[in-house]
Chain A
Amino acid sequence: MKAFLKTTVCSVVLHVLYRALKVLVRKDSRIRHEFSSFKDGFTIRITLSTEGPSVVMRKEAGRLSWIKEAEGEDLELKFKSIDSAFLVFTGMMGISRAYAEHRITVKGDIADVMTLVRMIDIAEAYLFPRIMSKRVLRAVPSKERSSLSVYRMVLLGF
């Protein structure tokens, strides 16, 4: 697949993942708990490859927000290549595995990475079919509500 196609796919999935996290911060007790360990104003940047696009999220008044442009993030995860990002955002590889395989560079505290990874693992359990999560995760997190209801809130907003 061409790099720009992979970049497009990753950007879309990343956006869905952000929307899911935003919903789940309110609707899933474990994600809410993890999220509470970030201080208000905590800014996370995820960059899709060395030269690739990045998205920035910030905790604002206890909620997760999408930030257009920001500098001085508290945590940055950068994929070394778009191909590695593609593996993760298409559910072929868990984000923890990608980190372990040195596919991701980190600027910031590893403890914060661990928190974010747990949040993403749970979110992916809602977003990806169980058979996929089972293949890429050492243990599949349980769901506190149906995937359908999460997708509805992610896509339709209610």
Chain B
Amino acid sequence: MMYVPSYFEFVNSAKLLSGDYALENIASEMNLLGSVRPIILSDATLEKIGSVKLLTDALAKGGMRPSSVYTDIPLDSSIEKVNEIAVIYRERNADGIIALGGGSVIDTAKGLRMLISQGGRDIMRYVGSEMLNKGQNVPFAAIPTTSGTGSEATGVAVIKDGERKVKLEFISSFLLPDIAVLDVRVLESMPPRITALTGLDALTHAIEAYSCLQKNPISQCYAISAIKLIMANLEQALRKPKDKKARISMAIASYIAGAAFSNSMVGIVHAIGHSVGGVCSVAHGEAMTILLPVCMRYNRDYAKEDYSELLLYLSSPDVYASTDAAARADKAIAVVEDFIAKIKESAPIATRLSERGVMKSDFEEIAIRAMNDGALIVNPRNADKDDILKILDEAF
């Protein structure tokens, strides 16, 4: 039965441009929003493989010339980087932002957007949740080049404070891009490992959004669509990287899973996963892949109904119908585990913490950090430090 919370909020204000010639439509959409000379943010790899040129050519066709193209964004962007780009933005008199890249580039762009619209030189002042007003209008388009973080659909930016070496979270619906653009031409060069890990990250977003405390009829509906798309397309995207339909389907899945979790938030998989990443530099998607089944087992008795329902979308109507109602939640977890195992056959990904050099001596620090992660607040089952240590042990 559909769960209706006593109160919830939902926002997904980005306009989505998805499919053939999506890049070519950006100029016109940005014009409508009042931008004629945006700054382009991307990274060195995307510049090297020609994705940035693809974008600037597409913009040129629409008569748009960017005020500058900035591609010096590292994988792990920082507050300092955002502040630095803001200087360039103002110097060049840019009037909008187009971000082309993975999570780090898009989060950097969100930080820049916030700093420009709020004014000032340092985004540190704006750390927090929902405390910003809209500020000055800064048209912002995001073009993801991986299919997993869903950052193009979320009102969250996670940016490192390089000095204190901690990740800071910015939450505001005004961080949402005005336009999200999904175009296979910038997605098909994704290597198998990234395709696999980002795809499984998106699956985690959908499963956590579906079962966490802030679930609601809209986010659950988004989560279901994302799960269906991922189960039907991730393997194909790995087998045939140039398969357009599989690629765009994964991009859509990532986008809607992002919209789902931006509203109902993610839970314990992310709380622990962020910390595993922070302490041991395990890639985000990999931490998700390793932790998802273990955490689902931890949550099972508290999310039983949700997991049972998800079995239908994770498998097939036949499997769902032939599984005893009481066994569906367990079956759903088993299906997720099998799916990850199958993905592992076509891409070099880890499924245990020990495979990625995490040591048992890291557990204490990981658990302490996970306890301070906001994602823990909406997990269906409460977790204290000992619970987290047990989960880490099981995932080792």
Contact = CB atoms under 8 A, between A and B. Distances in A.
Chains A and B come from one and the same complex: yes
Given A100-B265, A111-B372, A114-B371, A105 B131 contact: yes
B126 to A, nearest CB: 9
Interface string A9-20: 000000000000
A96 B383 CA distance: 13
B8 A101 contact: yes
Nearest to B126: A107
A131 interface: no
A74 B371 CA distance: 20
Given A101-B7, A101-B8, A105-B130, A110 B214 contact: no
Tell me the interface secondary structure of chain B in the complex: loop
| Category for how many chain A residues contact B | 20 to 34
A100 B128 contact: no
B130 A115 contact: no
A139 B131 contact: no
Contacts of B380: 138
Contacts of A118: 371
B272 interface: no
Given A110-B128, A110-B373, 19 more contacts: A76-B128, A76-B131, A99-B374, A100-B265, A100-B377, A100-B378, A101-B5, A101-B214, A106-B130, A107-B127, A109-B169, A111-B373, A111-B374, A113-B374, A117-B377, A118-B371, A137-B382, A138-B382, A139-B382
Given A110-B374, A111-B373, A78 B214 contact: no
Contact of B214 (A100, A109, A117, A139): A100
A110 B169 contact: yes
Contacts of A76: 128, 131
Interface string A93-107: 000110111111111
Contacts of B377: 96, 99-100, 114, 117
Contacts of B168: 109
A53 interface: no
A108 interface: yes
Nearest to B369: A111
Contacts of B166: 111
A115 B373 CA distance: 10
Contacts of A100: 213-214, 265, 377-378
B215 to A, nearest CB: 11
Interface in B349-396: 371-374, 376-378, 380-382, 384
Which one of A97, A99, A102 has the highest number of Cβ atoms from chain B below 10 Å of its Cβ? A102
B324 interface: no
A102 B9 contact: yes
Which one of A78, A107, A117 has the highest number of Cβ atoms from chain B below 10 Å of its Cβ? A107
B45 interface: no
B328 to A, nearest CB: 23
Given A100-B265, A114-B376, A138-B382, A106 B128 contact: yes
| Category for how many chain B residues contact A | 20 to 34
B213 A110 contact: no
B358 to A, nearest CB: 21
Contacts of A103: 7
27 contacts: A76-B128, A78-B131, A96-B377, A99-B377, A100-B213, A101-B5, A101-B8, A101-B214, A102-B9, A105-B130, A106-B128, A106-B130, A107-B128, A107-B131, A108-B128, A109-B127, A109-B128, A111-B166, A111-B373, A111-B374, A114-B373, A114-B374, A117-B377, A118-B371, A138-B381, A138-B382, A139-B382
Nearest to B173: A102
A101 B213 CA distance: 9
Contacts of A104: 129
Contacts of A137: 382
Contacts of A78: 131
Contacts of B127: 107-109
Contacts of A117: 377
Contacts of B373: 110-111, 114
Nearest to B170: A110
A137 B213 CA distance: 12
A111 B271 CA distance: 11
A106 B115 CA distance: 18
A96 B378 CA distance: 8
Contacts of A114: 371-374, 376-377
Contacts of A101: 5, 7-9, 214
A114 B205 CA distance: 21
A135 to B, nearest CB: 13
